[in-house]
Amino acid sequence: MNQCIRKIKQHYCYPLLLFCILCNPVNTLAANPSHLFDTVVTPVDTFQTLLQIPSGHAFVNIPLPHQMVSFYSEYCEKQSKELLLMKFWAKPYFDLYDHILSANGVPVTLKYLSVIESHLQPNLVSWAGAVGPWQLMPYEAQRFGLKNNKYVDERTDFIKSTEVAAKLLKELYAEFGDWLLVVAAYNGGVGRVKQAIEKAKSKSFWDIQYFLPEETRNHVKKYIATHYIFENNGGVTTLTAQEVQQYFNVPAEQRTAITSADSTLCSVEISGRYNAALICKQLQILPAYFNQLNPGFAAQLASGKKYIMYLPKEKKNLFEATKQQILEQSIQQLLLGSPVAY
């Protein structure tokens, strides 16, 4: 089956592949998938590893928030086996998410929000009327131009619903400037989050959480837990805005010191409107890895400032040889507003 998927990916577009998996996602695995766990850590092992602050691929190690220890332990026991299986059968979905979210300037790890919203079930309908892999409400579908009538509901379309989710997430970030609050507002609404901020007199999720409905509070924690299970680390979307400043927004010389211990990385100073997706495509770097190495990449370049970009050492010569081409394509893509195809 894996060989078939590779052939489909080589010769056909992603929507066809997604359609095939939609018809029978479980069959993309072996008939007896238990052997997949021969080399996969158990929930308990995963939990212990997180408490030891794993390194993974990121140059910054982000420990599991102390407010999450009990919740994460219970969540692992209930969900980690299913989520670890999802790493295999859902890869085409995640590749699609990476492409669309990155093209819209949204951190690709927010794909895990779709995991906790629907477990990637396109026809899932909530009690409140939310539908699809991103659980979009009818008024959101209408506001962003998705068809939603008795004949068709485009909220079930992976490509179209992800485009809308990306725009909605970007809109919420413009409102709050904090990804944990974005996840809370995505579930509970902007109004509830604003009320909680006012009552707590704080913009930190950990301060306002008990002024939010239990469902919304747990939704954010499920997102953080899912991120740690998939990434074996935290990231900009699992931190408060203040914590992002603490972990990522440090001067270039400090970032150099942080990465100097990793002999596999190098730094390159750049300026101009480079597109991260185009760099990843040209250098064959996973977007999630690039984003972890280079937080705030697009925002800093868009402000006209220079940026210290980190790359695997073996990619430096290729970047230097093609950087002008990448920049020209980036500017063209910016002017046309067209997404970058991987």
Lowest mean pLDDT among 84-88, 185-189, 202-206: 84-88
**Range of 13-17, 18-22, 44-48, 71-75 with top mean pLDDT:** 71-75
Question: Which domains does the chain possess?
Answer: 18-245 (1.10.530.10), 251-336 (no CATH)
Residue 229, Cβ density class (10 Å: 0-12 exposed, 13-18 middle, ≥19 buried)? buried
Q: Where are the alpha helices (DSSP H) in 232-315?
A: 241-247, 252-259, 276-283, 287-293, 297-302
Residue 315 clears pLDDT 70, i.e. is over it: yes
96-146 pLDDT, tens per residue? 999 899 888 888 899 999 999 999 998 888 888 888 899 999 888 889 888
Write the secondary structure of 116-174 as one string of H (helix), E (strand) and C (coil).
HHHCCCCCCECCCCCECCCCECHHHHHHCCCCECCCCEHHHCHHHHHHHHHHHHHHHHH
pLDDT at 15 over 80: no
Q: Is the pLDDT of residue 306 over 60?
A: yes
Higher pLDDT, 32 or 217: 217
Q: Taking the CA atoms of the chain, what radius of gyration do you get in angstroms?
A: 20
pLDDT of amino acid 338: 55
Does this model's pTM top 0.95? no
Residue 237, number of CB atoms within 10 A of its CB: 24
* Mean of the per-residue pLDDT values of the chain: 78
- From first CA to last CA, the distance across the chain in angstroms is 23
Residue 61 · residue 54 · CB < 8 Å: yes
66, pLDDT greater than 80: yes
Q: Does residue 3 surpass a pLDDT of 50?
A: no
Dihedral, 127, 133, 135, 139 alpha carbons, nearest 10:
-120
Q: What percent of the chain has pLDDT over 70?
A: 76
Beta bridge partners of 131: 125, 136
More confident residue, 13 or 279: 279
Instruction: Answer whether 288's CB lies under 8 Å from 101's CB.
Output: no
219-241 per-position pLDDT tens digit: 999 999 999 999 888 888 999 98
Numbers of helices and strands, H then E, in the chain: 18, 2
pLDDT of residue 200 exceeding 60, the answer is yes
- State residue 148's pLDDT score: 82
Average pLDDT over residues 151-159: 89
